Amino acid sequence: MAGLLAAGPAASQVAKPKQPNVLFILADNLGYGELGVYGGGALRGAPTPRIDKLASEGLRLTNMNMEPQCTPSRSAMLTGRHAIRSGTYAVPFGGVAEGLTQWEVTLAESLSEAGYATALYGKWHLGSHDGRLPNDQGFDEWYGIPRTTNEAMWHDTPGYSPEHMRPEYILEGRKGGKSREVKVYDMEQRRLLDAEVTRRSIDFMERQARAGKPFFAFASLTQPHLPTVPHPAFAGKTGNGDWADMLAEMDHNVGQMLDAVERLRIRDNTVVIFVSDNGAEFIKPWEGWAGPWRGAYFTAWEGGIRVPFMIRWPGRVPAARVSDEIVHGVDLFTTLAGFAHAKVPHDRPIDGVDQAGFFLGKTDKSAREGILIWVDNRLQAVKWRNYKVHFYQQDTMTSPAERLPIPHVFNLYENPREDEGKRAYTSWVLGPMLKMVNAFNASVKKYPLIPMGTPDPYQPPGLP
């Protein structure tokens, strides 16, 4: 970890404000339309009262944007940098050095340096070998899977043998040591993992509350990523199938963590965030629902990038507030570091902007007007205010991405489904959009992108 800039005056000059705890709950492939407060819930076979109540207790966003895949979105949230910069712009499929280089500074590293206890439980997907696991990237402890949930299905595939492809293991590790293999991640463990994530997250919060130490608890749930199956205790609970049972379980697990915050009497000094890593699941028969938006993950359609988001901080984030202002996942690093009086890197481009003023209700406006949208290593689209331009046509994750001879412009207020037959012929909006693109390209000339598969140790070109 290198290149950190102090967030404010030295401690000797001013009294340091109390640092809030952070409970960060991340769902995996939860579409915009799944939760009750976003138009789903009972319409999807299972009400979500606990998550809906959480949304009413703080700020709920209707224009929260993520990268369109699991690995890029996690990279962006934890580094404050678009994944294209870090060589993490696509889900890795082996054969290269996976995940974040150790040169990257994660939110966990920043908060740890600021005195936080840090833990991640659940899915990581930013490196699957020692040196690139959570306990190597700022987390004091972790338990979960290094890659992805669909690998649990390997064991039931005809002809599969560990001799041909080593299975994924649930791992456990602590900072300063190597991670150990706990058990094979199969379909039995797939059903059990989120309950264990919840249990361990609560235990971690209890330990830190007793110690009086601020904490960053990252509860990285594996649901509803395929295969979408519930815990045995929830199987058949709704009578509406596995998807609804899973949704009921997720709501229960979130409720358990919120109850722990209440029980520990740390509610007023705990920032709680609930968000999805990208848009809806696409693979049948587990496909999710993006609500009013077109598309699913792995695409630049709104259904691939627009996700549920809510943040609660009693007395600081005004309750019962809903906003359609544009926010991006990269902003969470910068904003949470500010809340924690932590440090952010100054020796590299940081794409996240500090949304504290907006989140805390000091302004009705987001600190950004637009976002750049990559799919793999292609700049596929740009959003600015209520307009969006696509440079490529790609309908689904299995469709080829075809460069458009003329960019397609949409007014998302008039055409939220991004219907090609209702394109907006207002080319003036390309001006501010291309200004954003040009600014990014200029930064790349000064700070080259890290190629995917770059091994450690990494140092940017031109630095000693």
Task: Give the pLDDT band of residue 92 (cuts 50, 70, 90).
Answer: confident
> Containing H/E element for 218?
strand 215-224
Q: What is the pLDDT of residue 11?
A: 41
> How would you class 381 by CB atoms within 10 Å of its CB: exposed for 0-12, middle for 13-18, buried for 19 or more?
buried
- Same domain? For 310 and 292 the reply is yes
- 3-class secondary-structure state, position 374: strand
Helix 187-211 vs helix 242-263: crossing angle, to nearest 10 = 10
- In terms of residue numbers, what domain contains 225? 20-369
User: Which residues face 122 on adjacent strands?
Assistant: 144, 220
- The CA-to-CA distance between both ends of the chain, in Å, stands at 15
Assess if residue 5 is contained within a domain: no
Does 299 share its domain with 389? no
At 95, the pLDDT band (50, 70, 90 cuts) reads low
Q: Given a cut of 90, is residue 222 above it in pLDDT? A: yes
Token pair 């001799």 in the structure block, residue: 163
293 and 344, same structural domain? yes
Pair (360, 385) in one structural domain? no
Task: Judge whether 328 and 368 are in contact, CB under 8 Å.
Answer: yes
Q: Is the pLDDT of residue 462 over 70?
A: no
- Say how far apart CA 250 and CA 248 lie, in whole Å: 6
pLDDT of residue 93: 76
Average pLDDT, the chain: 95
Q: What is the percent of the chain with per-residue pLDDT over 70, rounded to a whole number?
A: 95
Please check whether residue 24 lies inside any domain of the structure: yes
If one counts every other C-beta atom within 10 angstroms of the C-beta of residue 105, the result is: 28
Among 369, 388, 407, the domain-final residue is: 369
Residue 5 confidence (pLDDT): 46
Does 7 reside within a domain?
Answer: no
**Does residue 324 carry a pLDDT above 70?**
yes
Q: Are residues 181 and 286 in the same domain?
A: yes
Closest CA to 67 of 76, 58, 80: 76
Instruction: Indicate the pLDDT class of residue 463, thresholds 50, 70 and 90.
Output: low
CATH of the domain at 282: 3.40.720.10
Q: Is residue 13 a part of any domain in this protein?
A: no
48 and 129 co-located in one domain: yes
The answer to whether residues 39 and 188 belong to one domain is yes
What is the SS3 assignment for 8-23? Answer: CCCCCCCCCCCCCEEE
pLDDT score, position 16: 62
Per-residue pLDDT averaged across 417-426, rounded? 95
Please identify every residue annotated as catalytic.
70, 125
**Is 25 among the domain residues?**
yes
Contact 180, 144 (CB under 8 A): no
- Tell me the two tokens of residue 375: 């799919």
Domain count, the chain: 2
* Domain CATH code at residue 421: 3.30.1120.10
Model confidence at 334: pLDDT above 80: yes
Determine the pLDDT at residue 6. Answer: 44
Residues 377 and 365 in one domain: no
Confirm if 144 and 150 have CB atoms less than 8 A apart.
Answer: no
